[in-house]
């Protein structure tokens, strides 16, 4: 993990069928441009025959720009049938956060952003409750209150989709947003829509996981940060963690302890996402 | 957790409906016998209205024996409708271990026993394979080979039950014994039959949990030590733990890493059980 | 750990020379008042011959008040030479927080307080920098800016001591306050002055622990929450935790990762302190 | 981490001054030989300007042997001033284990070796006590008893050095061998001599770390696997871990809990070493 994002450098992320010579070709390409590798990660999935690469490249000694880099790299990408992108890491992306009544994940993300730890813009926060408005606005971030009535969610989500688009969201973070996201948004923001689930998935899928954990008498509780797909709680997992509980914990204690795990797991997941460390393939992730 | 087991002391374990005055009455009883409390744990389950107690009592300054202690305590136990027992901690219990082909849990338990860390007798090891005989016999422990043919398990388990009884087993440890235990044995040894499951239950119940964990792309794998009941993988949980995995782990890596978690979780579970730290009620445990 | 603080109950905390009969006498006293034990913890330090007790008592069915409880309990306390106190858990204590330039620990404590997780008053925050004023004041908490010039710290700390007293501080939390506290304050608030040190003590005592950890090439970094005594970084430890690092972490990465550990370790330490779970004796703590 | 060692493949490990083009040149070299990268790790230390690489190469489709690989790679190595080696991963290395009276680390390593998890030869075990002979010999491994008298250690270590050489040791594991190794052996086996220290270094350097940890009242205890240098407990750290303790732990409990951490940390350290994942530079390690 690196804090180099603010230096002028490029990040290239690739996944493609595994073949001999990919690293050779990519790194030769970069070296010939006089690019210096700050961080370089590869993974070969031997079962699936699939290859993953993430390179951070210092451009201090390079004299081409991003567009030229893309243009010249395209033949290599085509040759190996790559899914790929290259990004100027100085350009901040737009993260729209959606929250409900609970403040802990949102407060944590806002503080990390405010203190400079999270390198992105937060163009707005959307919530179906009013109670967090003041906290959000203190950070200088617009707050949109969109109630989601039980009997007509469609209109509410049309409104939400509109707000998201108007703010040019690159990614959306569900910071304990307790509503099910409609398929249209899931599809449109596939791989860009992140949720925190308050259990160690696949344990305790669905509602009330802490109650279920309490009833089952587990000795650890956890949280799971994952990309949202149409299948509830089944999307690709980005990060997970657990905390120890015991018989002396009431359900309320579990909720309280779990909050800390949710908060830190979501923060790590969002960071990995912003640093393009997460590559999705099927229902699994590579996290460099 | 205490290593005081070898001193002459008593251990009393109680669970009963919660009422005012139980601790007062129990500890007054002990103090009047001039017993000194080495370790004293209580828990009140406020939801269920149930009370749990475990006391380690030094008998150095007491001058009554175990039977007399029981006789005098009985009226208190009756008054509060206690489930209870009192035990001389110097008396070793008989732990029969059942294993299959895999050696790691068995080797660990045998070493802990051999080096004096596990305070019990191991009157025999039962396995449906021959490959671990020499390891067991090197420890001076009888090894019983009982094959379990797919088409007639009944006879095999009758034989096993007979061996268990002949060796006066107090408890049975399934150290990666890969066969389903018939209901008759589950019932007879309820609360005395311990299994290690190679997943973080309730995730990945049933067979091949590592394959399932690999396929789901989880970021932590775990193990669960639990009492065996008729409902497979649903018994009361004694102990759990997890270890971090990543995309770079093959299924074989997960199996290898998981072995270490299984081994340590089972060892801790067996220790808690032998120290009478685990009190079962319904499908949950209190672990002092 | 319990969230029952808001119910009308009492908490009694005792430490004294270990003798037969203490639990019996204390719990009989409580039972005779018709008090019901919500949570009950004891510890006998067999080496030191010292006894520790913490009881949470529901007063729902008791009909005496705190003063009467104290008056009646005093003879028992005297008999066993107890250090003790009893507290109405509904009465909030005053926590003064001191911070410097860094916001993360302060922001976390303020959020936990604001969301009701931390049961106390925060009468003011004192800092030697102005940058966190707006954040503190947004929470409705007075902010006192007291610069601490290198050449005359005495006057600054006289001012600080005055502010602390005016706000009737019960305890003081140093939330990454980077100044050494003068002995007079350490003594006056012995056992009430809590610091977070950014290393796993006793590793890397003093300044720049992350640099030292980086230079030593450790594989885990940590944080330590402890009571402040005159001996820098040598006070009784309340709580510690660690996080894994690797060769790929720069010193800046370590600082960033360490922040999360510091934040959660301090939050847990403050909670244990507020719940009277920490009993200090000499340079060690019992944490129930 | 991979279990592919037994397939016919090569492993190349490199460290050298960081320059543009190293990965390009190395991976082009491998691709031109038709070698397929199973696992590929790099690290650029931006502060030190130093580069590290570890590649596992499947040779299934290559038709040159190890010597030819070395011959052809040498010009590249010279050009970049590399410290490097290439190894046939099928060739087992010789690990001599030294132990004292305690059995736990030795038993664990022997079991991992015996069950095929540790890919190496163990040509002999050397101990200054006789008590573990039978355990070692049961594994079919020669046991050398070399007492180390306080007043003449020189002769003992001359004998030990002779045994080590006769058995063609590639590496030496100190599995709780409680004697200080003389500088001559430290130098001769620099980077090949591994120790397990029973504390979280740099905490509690030297003798009796558990006593010191107990006296200091720490809340976590740990273990450190490191290469041995002449400076006691100051060598490059390979792996560390910790376990939670509390006031209820006696020193004996800490010793017992610590054993499990020591055992697993040493096992991981030895595995990383055997897989050539550890690259030492100065007093620090890169662990791929």
Going by pLDDT thresholds of 50, 70 and 90, the confidence category of residue D27 is very high
Output the CA–CA distances (angstroms, integers) from residue D271 to A234, B132, B215, in the order listed.
Answer: 35, 24, 26
CA dihedral of C73, C74, C75, C76, whole degrees rounded to 10: 50
Residues B144 and B241: their CA atoms lie apart, in Å, by 31
Residues of B with CB under 8 A from a CB of A: 43, 45-47, 52, 200-204, 216-220, 222, 236-237, 239-242, 246-248, 250, 283-287
Tens of pLDDT along A131-170? 999 999 999 999 999 999 999 899 999 999 999 999 999 9
Give the B:C interface size as CB pairs under 8 Å: 56
- By C-alpha distance, the chain A residue nearest D32 is A21
Q: What six digits make up the tokens of A273? A: 């996402």
Question: Peptide bond preceding A282: is omega within 30 degrees of 0, i.e. cis?
Answer: no
Of the candidates C21, C41, C52, the one whose C-alpha atom is nearest the C-alpha of residue B30 is C21
Tell me which residue has tokens 């489709």: D61
Mean pLDDT throughout C43-57?
96
Rounded to 10 degrees, the C-alpha dihedral D13/D16/D18/D22 comes to -50
Structure confidence by residue, pLDDT tens digits, C171-228? 999 999 999 999 999 999 999 999 999 999 999 998 899 999 999 999 999 999 999 9
CA C102/CA C175 separation, integer angstroms: 9
The yes-or-no verdict on residue A284 having pLDDT over 70 is: yes
**pLDDT score for D8:** 73
Average of per-residue pLDDT across D224-236: 93
pLDDT in tens, B121-158: 999 999 999 999 999 999 999 999 999 999 989 999 99
Question: Can you tell me the distance from the alpha carbon of D227 to that of D171, in angstroms, rounded to the nearest whole number?
Answer: 11
Q: How confident is the model at residue A1 (pLDDT cuts 50, 70, 90)?
A: very low
| Strands laid side by side in the C95-99 sheet | C143-145, C125-127, C95-99, C171-175, C193-197, C220-227, C237-244
Residues of B in CB contact (< 8 Å) with C are 18, 20-21, 23-25, 27-28, 30-32, 34-40, 42, 44, 46, 61
Chains in touch with A (3+ beta-carbon pairs under 8 Å) read B, C, D
**Residue B5 above 70 pLDDT?**
no
Question: Can you tell me the distance from the alpha carbon of C214 to that of D231, in angstroms, rounded to the nearest whole number?
Answer: 19
| Tens of pLDDT, residues A179-205 | 999 999 999 999 999 999 999 999 999
Calculate the average pLDDT of chain D.
Answer: 94
pLDDT tier for residue A3 given thresholds of 50, 70 and 90 = very low
Task: Indicate whether A79 pLDDT > 50.
Answer: yes
The residue among B275 and C4 whose pLDDT is bigger is: B275
* C23/B21 touch (CB, cutoff 8 Å), yes or no: no
Q: Model confidence at A231, in pLDDT bands (50, 70, 90)?
A: confident
pLDDT tier at A9 (50, 70, 90 boundaries)? confident
Check pLDDT > 60 for residue D107: yes
Q: Token pair of D181, please?
A: 């190794």
**Average pLDDT in chain A:** 94
C55-81 as b/e, with b when 16 or more CB fall inside 10 Å?
bbbbbeebeeeeeebbeebeebbeebe
The answer to whether D77 and D47 have CB atoms below 8 angstroms apart is no
Residue B274, pLDDT above cutoff 70: yes
CB–CB contact B37 C23 (8 Å): yes
Say whether A218 and B236 touch across the interface (CB within 8 A): no
Average pLDDT over residues C231-248: 94
Given B18, B45, B170, B233, which residue is catalytic? B233
The per-residue pLDDT for range B211-242, each reduced to its tens digit, is 999 999 999 999 999 999 998 888 999 999 99
Residue B275 DSSP class: T
Show residues of chain B in contact with A204, CB under 8 Å: 202
pLDDT exceeds cutoff 90 at A225: yes
Contacts of D162-170 with C-beta under 8 Å, sequence gap 24+, read D163/D96, D163/D124, D163/D126, D164/D96, D164/D126, D164/D189, D167/D94, D167/D96, D167/D123, D167/D124, D168/D94, D168/D123, D169/D94, D169/D95, D169/D96, D169/D123, D170/D93, D170/D94, D170/D95
Query: Quick one: pLDDT at residue B6?
Result: 44
Active-site annotation holds for B233: yes
Query: Given the structure tokens 């290599």, which residue do they identify?
Result: A76
pLDDT band of A74, cuts 50, 70, 90: very high
With CA atoms as reference, report the closest residue to B286 among B186, B199, B191: B191
Mean pLDDT of D9-16: 96
Judge whether residue D7 has pLDDT over 60.
Answer: no
Closest Cα in chain D to B112: D104
CA distances from C118 to B84, C167, C268 (A): 39, 18, 10
**Residue A11: band (very low, low, confident or very high) from pLDDT cuts 50, 70, 90:** very high
Phi, psi values for residue D64, rounded to 5°: -120, 160
Q: Please tell me the least confidently modeled range out of A159-173, A226-240, D163-177.
A: A226-240
Average pLDDT over residues B28-46: 95
pLDDT at D60: 86
**What pLDDT was estimated at residue D123?**
98
pTM, entire model: 0.95
Between C231 and D20, the more confident residue is: D20
Band of residue B2 on the pLDDT scale cut at 50, 70, 90:
very low
pLDDT for the residue numbered D59: 87
Contact (Cβ atoms closer than 8 angstroms) between residue D197 and residue D226: yes
Residue D259: is its pLDDT beyond 80?
yes
B92-102 tens-digit pLDDT: 999 999 999 99
Nearest CA in chain D to C200: D203
Q: Nearest by CB to C31, from B18, B21, B39: name it.
A: B21
Give me C222's structure tokens: 């940590």
Quote the radius of gyration of chain D (alpha carbons, Å). Answer: 21
* Binary contact (D220, C242; C-beta < 8 A): yes
Nearest to A43 among B46, B248, B284 (CB): B248
For the packed helices A251-274 and A104-114, what is the interaxial angle rounded to 10 degrees?
40
Which neighbouring-strand residues pair with B10? Answer: B57, B88
- Domain borders along chain A are 4-88, 95-287
pLDDT digits (tens, 9 = 90+) for C78-136: 999 999 999 999 999 999 999 999 999 999 999 999 999 999 999 999 999 999 999 99
Q: Which one of A1, A107, A253 has the shortest CB-CB distance to C248?
A: A1
Is pLDDT of C4 > 80? no
The three-class DSSP label of residue A185 is helix
The DSSP secondary structure of D186-208, one letter per residue, reads HHHTTTTEEEEESS-TTTT-SS-
pLDDT in tens, B156-206: 999 999 999 999 999 999 999 999 999 999 999 999 999 999 999 999 998
Does domain B4-88 correspond to CATH entry 3.30.70.260? Answer: yes
CATH code of the domain occupying B95-287: 3.40.50.170
**Which pLDDT score, from 0 to 100, does residue D179 have?**
94
Give the integer Cα–Cα distance in Å for C121 and C136: 14
What ipTM was estimated for this complex?
0.93
Catalytic residues of A: 233
- The CA-atom distances, in angstroms, between C248 and each of D45, D59, D191, D254 are 8, 29, 21, 32
Which residues on chain A are in Cβ contact (under 8 Å) with B287? 219, 246-247
């Amino acid at each position: 993990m690196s804090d180099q994002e603010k230096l002028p450098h490029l990040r290239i992320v690739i996944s493609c069928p595994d073949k001999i010579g990919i690293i050779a070709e990519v790194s030769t390409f970069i070296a010939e441009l006089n690019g210096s590798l700050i961080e370089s990660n590869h993974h070969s999935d031997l079962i699936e025959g699939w290859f993953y690469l993430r390179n951070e490249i210092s451009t201090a000694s390079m004299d081409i720009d991003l567009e030229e880099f893309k243009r010249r790299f395209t033949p290599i990408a085509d040759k190996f049938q790559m899914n790929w992108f290259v990004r100027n890491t100085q350009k901040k992306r737009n993260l729209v956060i959606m929250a409900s009544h609970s403040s802990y994940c949102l407060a944590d993300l806002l503080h990390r952003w405010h203190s400079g730890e999270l390198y992105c813009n937060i163009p707005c926060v959307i919530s179906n409750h009013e109670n967090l408005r003041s906290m959000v606005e203190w950070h200088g971030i617009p707050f949109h209150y969109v109630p989601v009535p039980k009997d007509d969610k469609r209109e509410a989500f049309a409104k939400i989709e509109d707000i998201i688009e108007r703010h040019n969201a690159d990614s959306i973070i569900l910071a304990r947003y307790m509503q099910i996201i409609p398929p249209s948004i899931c599809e449109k923001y596939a791989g860009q829509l992140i949720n925190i689930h308050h259990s160690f998935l696949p344990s305790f899928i669905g509602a009330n996981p802490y109650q279920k954990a309490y009833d089952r008498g587990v000795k650890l509780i956890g949280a799971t940060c994952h990309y949202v797909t149409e299948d509830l709680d089944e999307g690709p997992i980005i990060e997970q963690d657990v905390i120890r509980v015991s018989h002396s914990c009431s359900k309320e204690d579990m909720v309280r302890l779990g909050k800390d795990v949710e908060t830190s797991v979501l923060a790590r997941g969002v960071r990995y996402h912003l640093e393009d460390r997460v590559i999705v393939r099927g229902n699994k992730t590579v996290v460099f």
